[in-house]
Structure 1
Amino acid sequence: MFTHNFPFTFTSRTSLLILTIGIFGSHTVYSAEDAYDRGLKAYQAELHALEKRLGYIGPRLPIPALQPIAPDVYMAVGSQIWGTRNNFGFNNNMTAVVFQDGVFVYNAGPNEPVAYAFHMQLKAITDKPVKWVAIENHQGHANMGASYWHDIGVKNIYSQQQATAEFHENFPAQKKRYMAASGNVINQHSQDVTAAYTTFAERLSIDVGNGETVELINYGGGHTPTMTGAIVPSKKLVFTGDLGFNQRVPGLFKGGSYREWIRSFDKMEQTVAGYFPLTEAIVIPGHGTAADMATIRRQTVGYFEDMAGKIQKVIAEGGDLNAAKTIDQSAHKDRPVFSQLAEPNAEFIYQELIQQTAH
């Protein structure tokens, strides 16, 4: 019997039939090796075309279930630690808002399998098509699943201009990093589809039908250089992007600024207040569960104000970086990723305050 160590795995009867047709479907006689080569090429071409049409071919991942948080608003809360193999790289939030004319999705997902799993759950809730996808920033966990939505025919994928350029430039490195962190298998499908993004600088209004809109707004930097948030006036719904954290400790990274973060958060609140009272807002943070605005502010801005106040006191008393790292952070010790971010955040805030004092 003819055998070969194929460099791929058959995942469905359809795939096997494609290969069989490729090898034996011709009336022309070829050698066994020619038949294999032709069949393999036919299989690969057909599989690629099929995956481009379907968006993703493979197992459905058991990601967190979509939960209703308001009428026609469904949220999947990702893991509150880093992206790993155990959580499939899904460590932020994805949300669907069902409108009369279709569905708006906030964040594309960290990879195609997660985007697919989210979509399959959504299909069990509504038969309306996903028409609009918005991406919060340049990070991979918001972008890497975009090629799934593009492949299934979503025409409107929105991202801020600078964030799009940064993701495009860093795509190869980001994909490599994600493959190392959460596995080759689930990340290998991701493609750079930024050429298909609809970009904007500061604001963009999406007409979602029936007199309703989704307002996309670049709230500013602090966590990342830009942050695309969204406001749905008809539902008093606010997407903070990664300006808002709940439960999980907010993370400062290279190029970040806690003071700019607070300014951006303030700008967001001022913008929201132009549509409806802050006390009536349903707020979906970048990480953690939905809450009211006061809670998200306390968990995010309140954290930075607490840290900065204590570190400013250290500096005023002549303390150095080591002293700043030993401030009392016990109020935050039970929050996810506290142990990983306690010292780095203290160092970032210390350095920022020192620079501020120098000027």
Structure 2
Amino acid sequence: MNSAKRLPLFTALLLLIVLTTAQAAEPIFKTVQVTNRVYALVGELTQRSPHNLGNNMTCGFIITDDGVVVVDSGGSADGAKMILQAIRAVTNQPVRWVINTGGQDHRWFGNDYFQRVTGAKVIASESGVLDMKARGLQQFQAATKYLAERFAGTVLAYPDITFSKRYRLAVSGVDIELIESGGAHTPADLLVWLPKEKLVFSGDIVFTDRLLGIRPGTGLKWISALTYLRDELHPVTIIPGHGNVATLDKAMRDSLGYLTLLREGAALAFKNGAFDPVEASQQIDQSAYSDLLNYGDTQFRSNNAIHMAEEVFVGVK
């Protein structure tokens, strides 16, 4: 083969290397400074993928006088590494603590990385650990499929510190309180509450900008958790579990408003004679939320309506 014939092949290979490198270097988080001490890391609103390393969520970190507190450790070892890189772009303070806001994979699959690399202590609720142990293997197997080779090196590691109900983190410079919700998107979602800043990391209790997903038996508890957040804490700023940093009004509209629409729609359908949850779900008009990502997935919307109608049906029988 002469040099003229080799050139196109060489050029193509070089271009492939450049594109692959560029994609690997592309940040998977948008770093948002919320206060002088609090940062949100806003991930993709799409599903888990090799590109986002399982970090299709919003997490963040708090800079205290004693070190950095990370809120959620990521969906893989590589995902945790990306979180640490985002932190290092802002501060060189040591990472001292990691909070898991629930038992969903991207809330805790990076625990092992942070424990090994930074020596951080991981904190979660007792109910959160139970959820991790109940669903961890299933989620691990699913992530292996979703993330392929980008999941390599991920090891399940449980929290070092657990609590029940409420926990005040002993740090200087910021008041941080962890509050169990009683269950929302998952059985053990918790709130990370900064009372002086009137700011909350909500974990999977709040979704903004995308339609939330209701699992069987979770809808009414989720409404209770959001009502508590609104009426008892009165936060000004919410860093959600999915989506962009939001005001209380925006967060309640995208999450509580949607859940309430489904609950009231199902109740009305049964009042009007719907025979079962499936029939009731078909009578619920969700078009008020057509602006949210995932709305176009009719099966996703249908599942949400059916799961809520099943809970409402139990109450009207």
TM-score by length of 1: 0.76
> How much has 1:167 moved relative to structure 2?
0.9
Aligned counterpart, 2:20: none
Q: Unpaired runs of 5+ in structure 2? A: 1-23
Q: How does 1:1-359 map to 2 (within 5 A)?
A: 62-183=27-148, 185-194=149-158, 196-210=159-173, 212-256=174-218, 258-273=219-234, 278=235, 281-320=236-275, 321-338=278-295, 339=297, 340-358=299-317
Give the residue type in structure 1 aligned to 2:292: R
Overall identity of the aligned pairs, in %:
25
Give the residue type in structure 2 aligned to 1:324: S
Give the residue type in structure 1 aligned to 2:289: H
Question: Any idea what the Cα deviations from partners look like across 1:95-139, whole Å, max 9, x if unmatched?
Answer: 011122211111111111111112112112111111111111111
Q: Please identify runs of 4+ aligned residues in structure 1 that moved more than 4 A.
A: none
The answer on whether the counterparts of 1:135 and 1:158 sit within 8 Å (CA) in structure 2 is: yes
Distance 1:89 1:329 in 2: 29
The answer on whether the counterparts of 1:61 and 1:113 sit within 8 Å (CA) in structure 2 is: no
Judge which range, 343-352 or 326-335, deviates more.
326-335
Give the residue type in structure 1 aligned to 2:142: R
Distance 2:130 2:285 in 1: 40
> How much has 1:232 moved relative to structure 2?
1.4
Structure showing greater Rg: 1
Distance 1:190 1:324 in 2: 39
> How much has 1:204 moved relative to structure 2?
0.7
The answer on whether the counterparts of 2:109 and 2:157 sit within 8 Å (CA) in structure 1 is: no
Give the residue type in structure 1 aligned to 2:38: V
> How much has 1:60 moved relative to structure 2?
6.1
The answer on whether the counterparts of 1:65 and 1:121 sit within 8 Å (CA) in structure 2 is: no
> How much has 1:323 moved relative to structure 2?
4.9
Question: Any idea what the Cα deviations from partners look like across 1:136-159, whole Å, max 9, x if unmatched?
Answer: 111111111111101113332111
Distance 2:74 2:26 in 1: 13
Distance 1:190 1:288 in 2: 25
Distance 1:326 1:81 in 2: 28
Aligned counterpart, 1:31: none
